[in-house]
């Protein structure tokens, strides 16, 4: 079923939002690398790659439904952060914004009776629960570590394991 113009435009905005998230996580990865946290940098690189996969899911969906992909402009991400904690706080804020956007897309699909979009959006609703939970868990771990060298090193190694798997 061909996608209507309203849904097409909303999906295009979501593609851009996911690519912006990829862009932002890449910048966070660079900050971690420069700060000496190579494991956290690898984790952010994996997270950035995952956001590109998210963008491509919407991209392919629009094309499969005879829509038009129109990419929006990306803005320059922050390159400076106050602390390791502030980077992950920034990430959690971003994930909450993405969750709200997916929620709005779901509402729009219902309003437009665009039921063909619901299986894809269901996937994203579940994914966003996981995304927010992951960032919250890391922030909890960082709060426990409280900046002490040994737990921070352990966390960096642990998060780096994800990067190694994703690469
Ligand atoms: Fe694709 Fe992390 O939201």
Distance 100 CA to ligand 1 centre (A): 11
- Which ligand 1 atom is the nearest neighbour of the CA of 131? 2
For the four alpha carbons of 55, 3, 103 and 9, in that order, the dihedral sign comes to positive
Rounded to the nearest integer, the mean pLDDT of the chain is 96
Distance 112 CA to ligand 1 centre (A): 24
Q: How far, in Å, CA of 142 to CA of 50, rounded? A: 23
The answer to whether the predicted template modeling score (pTM) of the entire model surpasses 0.75 is: yes
Ligand 1 binding pocket includes 131 (Cβ within 6 Å): yes
Ligand 1 binding pocket includes 27 (Cβ within 6 Å): no
- Which ligand 1 atom is the nearest neighbour of the CA of 17? 1
Ligand 1 binding pocket includes 98 (Cβ within 6 Å): yes
pLDDT tens-digit profile of 120-167?
999 999 999 999 999 999 999 999 999 999 999 999 999 999 865 544
Q: Say which residues have a Cβ less than 8 Å from residue 19's Cβ, sequence separation at least 6.
A: 51, 52, 55, 71, 74
- Domains of the chain in sequence order: 5-70+82-160 (1.20.1260.10)
What confidence score (pLDDT) does residue 83 get?
97
Q: How far, in Å, CA of 9 to CA of 108, rounded? A: 11
Measured between alpha carbons, how far is residue 72 from residues 12, 19, 20, 69, 120 in Å?
Answer: 8, 9, 10, 10, 21
pLDDT tens-digit profile of 153-162?
999 999 999 8
pLDDT tens-digit profile of 25-64?
999 999 999 999 999 999 999 999 999 999 999 999 999 9
Distance 157 CA to ligand 1 centre (A): 23
């Amino acid at each position: 079923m061909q996608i209507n113009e309203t849904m097409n435009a909303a999906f295009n905005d979501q593609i851009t939002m996911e690519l912006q998230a990829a862009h932002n996580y890449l910048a966070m990865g660079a900050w971690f690398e420069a700060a000496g946290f190579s494991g956290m940098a690898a984790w952010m690189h994996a997270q950035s790659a995952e956001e590109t996969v998210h963008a491509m899911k919407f991209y392919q969906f629009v094309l499969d439904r005879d829509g038009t992909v129109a990419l929006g402009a990306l803005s320059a991400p922050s390159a400076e952060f106050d602390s390791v904690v502030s980077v992950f706080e920034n990430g959690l804020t971003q994930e909450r914004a993405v969750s709200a956007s997916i929620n709005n897309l779901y509402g729009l699909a219902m309003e437009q009776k665009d039921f063909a979009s619901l299986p894809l959006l269901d996937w994203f609703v579940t994914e966003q629960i996981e995304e927010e939970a992951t960032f919250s868990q890391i922030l909890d771990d960082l709060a426990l570590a409280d900046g002490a060298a040994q737990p921070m090193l352990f966390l960096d190694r642990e998060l780096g394991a994800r990067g190694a798997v994703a690469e």
